Structure 1
Amino acid sequence: MEIDRGHAYLHIPAGENAGSGYAAYLAARAEREENSATAEQVRKNAAKKELAWLRRGAPARTAKPKARIAAAEALIANKPDGPARQGELGLDLGSKRLGSKGIEMLGVGFTWPDGHEVLHAFDHALEPGDRLGIVGPNGAGKSTLLDMIAGRLTPTVGTIDIGKTVLVGYYDQLGKELDLSKRVRDVVAGDKGSPSVEDLNLMKRFWFDGDAQFAPLSTLSGGERRRLQLLLTLIEQPNVLLLDEPTNDLDLDTLRALEDYLDDWPGIVVVVSHDRAFIDRTVEEILALDGEGGAALVPGGVATWLKQRSARTTTPRSAPNQRSSSTKPAKQKSSRSPSTLNRLIANVEKDMTKRTTRQTALYQDIADAGNDHKKLAALGEELAALQTTIESLETQWLELTEELGS
């Protein structure tokens, strides 16, 4: 009989070769602790996503976010019974210490030789902990700005002042050049000869542990090579991480691992991505480039930016002294009727209400699952997929309301 945190467990050896009652106790306790650690990991992963959502603030909608807020707070506060094994969930992220000074952009501008100006007199400081997402139309200068921050391009005007402790890691669309004759383990180790403990932790986190670490690069798929290139960027232990369209070539599991990694990462993150859900999950401020040299900073994610952009297109109607600017949105007037748009908005709101209701129920199911490993894994997968769907619906709602306002 074992008493643990108010619970009684009876351990009875089964079969002739089951061993002593103490052996059964040790085996049962180890299994219980492993399941408890899994339960806590599922709760923590779900709580991280909801905490990020709470920090951004719920987007304006009629889908009653109060219920989600209450459920999220309960999930964050709740812990499963039983002890998680010490050190099971920790991971040394291995970033170099970043001093008080990050990256300062003073009057930065860039004009291509053909005269196309993509950035004009831009001032901004990236400080430790900043998470910036860059959005804008194709050719607006998003990757160009990353290249300037990384030192690959020099501004045509202005200066970029880099702090002494800054170490930039750049995951771009081309990726690091790989020697296909080498093994994964050898490429990760580099000049060190063998991977460090931090290297091995990251390799495990991105599924290059076990036999996979000995695989020749020539046998890896295109997606696996891109995952390895991401790993090699993180192995450098940067404290400023630049991500240029990371969702283009990475599978969903790798993107989830990257999101979880960034949840705990203390450095500066700058993301360029057309994937609004990924940006909303990883950044806290948006830099919107208009493609004509203009740039606007917007706190929050893409949803907040779309809402503010929608407000800007409708506000001039009541301002007679701004008629010249209010005529611009008319050129992009929606081809769909107001009744059609209102019907679509109502359908999205109905779907959001249904999904958030299910999400609230999932939080309770996770809390009630206790140490049921299989059930927790299934609930965690359903919750992750549901969160992605809800964020997509929120973006649809904002786009439709913006179209209605035009």
Structure 2
Amino acid sequence: MTVISDQEIADFSADFNTNSKNQVASRAARRSGLLEASFNDRVSERLNHVFSTELDVGGVTDQKHSGRCWEFATLNVLRHYFGKQNKVKDFTFSQAYNFFWDKIERANAFYDAMIRLADKPLNDREVQSWLAFAGEDGGLWSMAINLVKKYGVVPSYAMPESFNSNNTTGLIDSLARKERKDAIALRKLVSEGSSQDELEKAKKHFLNEVYRMVSVALGEPPKKFDLEYRDDDKKYHLERDLTPREFVQKYFKDFKFDDYVVLSNCPNHEFNKLYHMPLYDNVDGGDQIKFLNVPIEYLAQAAVAQLKSGDAVIFGNDVLKQMERKTGYLDTELYQTDKLFGVDTKMSKADRLATGEGFATHDMTLVGVDEDHGHIRKWKVENSWGDKYGHKGFYEMSQPWFEDYVYDVVVRKEFLTDEQVKLAEGPAIDLKPWDNIG
């Protein structure tokens, strides 16, 4: 290791004080913070709340202090569909209901993995990936759809939000701690030569305890409910004793769940390849979690086409980069910290993914786009952070931000090329749990 000398420190100080602008920048940054000092208010000129294509949707939802954006975004797409079909645009579904079943199914997948990997040491990279993933509340569209297919959905009033669904830290911490302890017990049973029946008995016991924990935290999910609402024409509707599965079977019978494909843009992996992420396969017997990796222009084209067909688009993104909650602006020129510091931190998307600088941290929903003769100017984004942020809960995203910080969109096969459809229906390449594909 090379020691930093006193002379080098003196040189650094002299260089800093050579330019008087550094002192001005430092005073501004110390007074108001780096982001506020570098805020570029001129982005408002292009992010002006007007869109050439815009879906007619109701108000926004609020995930509060939880990592359930993937469930909120998925259920937003479903509620927009239900609203359009039944003329009731502000009808909402229960995120707590699907979150309950996610905890049960994900625990089951975790225990199966711990049994399967029991012959590997605890510090094995794959084992560590599963242990790190224990109890987590983040997820993806395909995971949410697996839950909808198996357990259905219920209106928000049938299983309302609670303290623990709005603030998931206590629950996920407790589940993670329990599941990791159970992993040690399962590994010990395997090392002692226990039979498959004995392992299944132990797993069932652990799952029963997980069910108890989640029921205490969230309440048990309803087995039946009455569908009751007044549509936008003020007409009253009531249907009694629906199960969650019956509700999906009846009201989403024309919603082709299997027609959707996740298009990803992760240039640190080869394009025109279908990838499978086994770590995220949350429901035993459910669909595998797959992504078709393509250049960014195909994500934009497919998203625009789906919006023009009248349907919303879920997209995964790195929301905390170049975003302001108050205004709801998402723009690559929003915070000009490089100019404040006098450095260049710009990296390619591939390099950001390869180094861990880039990662999809949030799911939101596209509900509008603004075009000028085919050129995309900006997008209208439905977030799930309540209506106090952005423009009544809706955000405006520039096309450069889309290109830099969007990692996937969920679109129907009809908006893909023939070659992409063929790839999406073909075999997938398994990724390691630590592979960063956004």
Note whether the superposition's TM-score is higher than 0.5: no
* Richer in helix (by share): 1
Give the structure, 1 or 2, with the largest relative contact order (CA under 8 Å, sep 6 or more). 2
TM-score, with length taken from structure 2: 0.20
TM-score, with length taken from structure 1: 0.21
